[in-house]
Amino acid sequence: MAPQDSFRNEAKHSVLRPWLGIIALVAAMTVLRGVYAGLIDLRTDEAYYWTWSKESVLSFLDHPPMIAWFIRFGTAIFGDTSFGARFAGLVAMLGTQLLLADIVWRRTRDIRATVIVVAMMEASLYYGLLMTKVSPDVPLVLFVTAMAWALVRLADSDDARWWLAAGLFAGLAALSKFTIALLLPAVLAFMWVPAWRGRWLRNPYPWAAAVIAVLVFMPVLVWNMQHDWASFRFQAVRATETHPWSLRTLGEFIGLQFGLVGFVLLPVVLTGVALTAWRGYRRKDPVAILLSTAVIVPFLYFLSKSLSLRVGDTWPTFIWPFGFAAAAINLSMLSRDGWRPSFVALSFRWAKIAIVSGVAFVVLVCFYYLAMPFNFIGRTDPVGGEAGYEPVVSRTEAELQKTGATWIATTDYRTYAMLRRFFNNRVPVVQINERGRYQGFRSPDMSLIAGHVGLYVGREPENNPSMALWAQIPARREPLETVDRVWRGVVMDTYAIEKFTGWTPELSPPPDSPLFRWRVLAGDPLLNVVAEFNPSPAERVGRVRRLPSVAVLS
C-alpha cells in the first residue's frame, strides 16, 4: 500500500472513530431509556397528563396541550402502556441531540466538539434518563432547541426566511410550556445587540415570525378567552408571588442542579457559558449571544426565585441544552482565541471526566430503579414517592364489589389520576373538588353516579372532617378500611377508603364555587387549609412549609 493511501486510511479512521463511538453510546442509552420507559409505571403527574390525552380540549389550566398530544402520539402506536405514553420523549431526545450536533458542527467544524455536545446530553440525568418522563418540559426542550437551530441557520446563511422557521418552533414551544417566555431576552439580544440590529428591525421577516408564533399558539389563546384567562392568571400568580427568604430552598435548587445536570458537568457548562457570553457580547457574535443569554437569564431568574420558594425540579430543564452547546463551542474556540495549550487540554480533560462520570451516574440511577430491591432514600425517593398504588387499587376494587359502589370520589388530582389510569374508564373516577382543572373534559357516565353508592379514596388525613372542604360536600361517609401504599418495604402513604352516599358531585360548579375556582389552586386562602391536610411527599417527611406557588404542578 502506498504511503499516501495509508495516510488517507488513517485519517478516515480517525474521523470515523468518534462518530462510531458516539452512535454506539446514544444507541445503548436509548435502549436503556426505552427499558426504563416500559418497565417503570407512570408516576402521579405522568398519569395526570395521560388523562389529558384522553380529552379533546384546546388547552388546560395547568399547561398548554402539547404534552397531551405527545402522549396521544405514542399511545396511538404502542397502546395505553407506560412505554406508549413515554415514547415521544425518546424521539424528542434523539431530535434534540441531532439539532445540538448540527448547531455545534456549523459553528466549529470540529468533530470533538460535536461529539461532546451529544455526549453531554447523555451524561446529564435531566436528559439521559428523565427525557422519558411524561412532562411538558420534554416537548419544550425539543422545540426551543429547534428554534435556536433555526436562528443559527439564519446567522450562518443570512437568509431571512429562517425567521419563519424560528417563529414556527417558538409557537410549538409555547404550546408546550409558558416558560418559553424566559427565552425572549435571548432572542431580543440575538436580534438587537449585533451590528445587524437595524436591518432586522426594518425587515418584515422577524415580525412575520412573531405572527406565526402567535397563530400556532392560538389554541391556548382561544381556550383562555373562553375561560376567563385562567391559565395566564394562574401562572402569573405563581410567577409573581413573593415570600420570606429561605436558605433551604436556595440550597435545594443548587443541589438539584448539581444532581440533575451533573456534579462535574454543571461547573464545566457554567464555565463554558460564561466564556461564551464574554466572547459573544465583546465581539457582537449573534449565536454566542443567543446561547449564553438563553442560559444566564432563566438561570438567574430561577436562582432568585429559589431564595423564597421551592423551584420545581423540571423547571430549568429547557435551558441546559443551550448550555451544552455553548460549552462545546467554547472548547473548540479556546485554542483559536489564543489560550495556552495546557489550559485547552485541561478544559477538554474536565469535559471528558464530566461525560464519563455523568453517564456512569445515569446508568447507576437507572439500574437502581430497574433492578435493585432496596430503598436507600426512604420516603423522599422521587420515584418511590409516587409508586406502590397497586394495593390501593386492589383494595378499592374489592370494596367496589363488596359495597356495590359504582363510582369513585377523590379530593386530590394525584389520586384521581392514578385511579383513572389503573381502572382505565371501567369505573367512573371523579375529583369532586378543584373542578377548574377539568374544564371541557368529557363527563363520566352520570347514570352510574347520581343516586348510586360511591367510594371515597383519599390520603390520610385528607379525609379529616374538620377540613373546610367537607363543609362544601354534604355527603354521608362511612369508613371502611385503610390501606398503605408501600414501595420497597417503606410506607409512603396511608389511604382511607370510605362508603360515599347521599350526594351527587357537581361536575361544572359555578366559577365562584370553592369546588371550582382556579384561584384556589393558585393561592386562595382556602389552599392553606387544604394543603395542611394534603401535603406533598417531601412535606409529609420533612414537613416543609407549603408555598402556594408550588401547590400544583411543576
Number of compact structural domains in the chain:
2
- pLDDT, one tens digit per residue, over 93-108 is 999 999 999 999 999 9
> Based on the domain organization, do 394 and 353 belong to the same domain?
no
> Based on the domain organization, do 274 and 237 belong to the same domain?
yes
> Based on the domain organization, do 324 and 405 belong to the same domain?
no
| 12 is a domain residue | no
Domain boundary among 311, 341, 370: 370
Domain boundary among 339, 370, 401: 370
> Based on the domain organization, do 32 and 113 belong to the same domain?
yes
| 9 is a domain residue | no
pLDDT score for 514: 83
| CA–CA gap between residue 9 and residue 5 (Å, rounded) | 6
| CA–CA gap between residue 363 and residue 159 (Å, rounded) | 42
> Based on the domain organization, do 423 and 540 belong to the same domain?
yes
- pLDDT, one tens digit per residue, over 395-417 is 999 999 999 999 999 999 999 99
| CA–CA gap between residue 534 and residue 297 (Å, rounded) | 34
Long-range CB contacts (< 8 A, 24+ apart) of 187-192?
187/151, 187/290, 189/289, 189/290, 189/293, 190/151, 190/286, 190/287, 190/289, 190/290, 190/293
> Based on the domain organization, do 497 and 439 belong to the same domain?
yes
Arithmetic mean of pLDDT over the chain: 89
Question: Does 7 have pLDDT greater than 60?
Answer: no
Portion of the chain with pLDDT greater than 70, in percent: 89
| CA–CA gap between residue 369 and residue 384 (Å, rounded) | 9
At 239, is the pLDDT very low, low, confident or very high (cuts 50, 70, 90)? Answer: low
DSSP string, 108-134: H--HHHHHHHHHHHHHSHHHHTGGGS-
DSSP string, 276-307: HHHHHHHHT-HHHHHHHHHHHHHHHHHHHHTT
| 379 is a domain residue | no
Question: Does 544 have pLDDT greater than 70?
Answer: no
Alpha carbons within 13 angstroms on the beta-carbon side of residue 243 total 22
**Residue 31: enclosing H or E segment and its boundaries?**
helix 3-39
| 5 is a domain residue | no
> Based on the domain organization, do 477 and 358 belong to the same domain?
no
Domain boundary among 370, 399, 414: 370
**DSSP label at residue 40:** S
| 301 is a domain residue | yes
> Based on the domain organization, do 359 and 398 belong to the same domain?
no
> Based on the domain organization, do 83 and 190 belong to the same domain?
yes
> Based on the domain organization, do 191 and 244 belong to the same domain?
yes
| 1 is a domain residue | no
> Based on the domain organization, do 226 and 353 belong to the same domain?
yes
- pLDDT, one tens digit per residue, over 461-509 is 877 876 778 888 889 999 999 999 999 999 999 999 999 999 999 999 9
Domain containing residue 396: 384-550
pLDDT score for 472: 83
- 348: burial class by Cβ within 10 Å (0-12, 13-18, 19+)? middle
pLDDT score for 14: 61
| 4 is a domain residue | no
Structure-model confidence comparison of residues 53 and 196, the more confident one: 53
> Based on the domain organization, do 197 and 170 belong to the same domain?
yes
| 523 is a domain residue | yes
pLDDT score for 294: 98
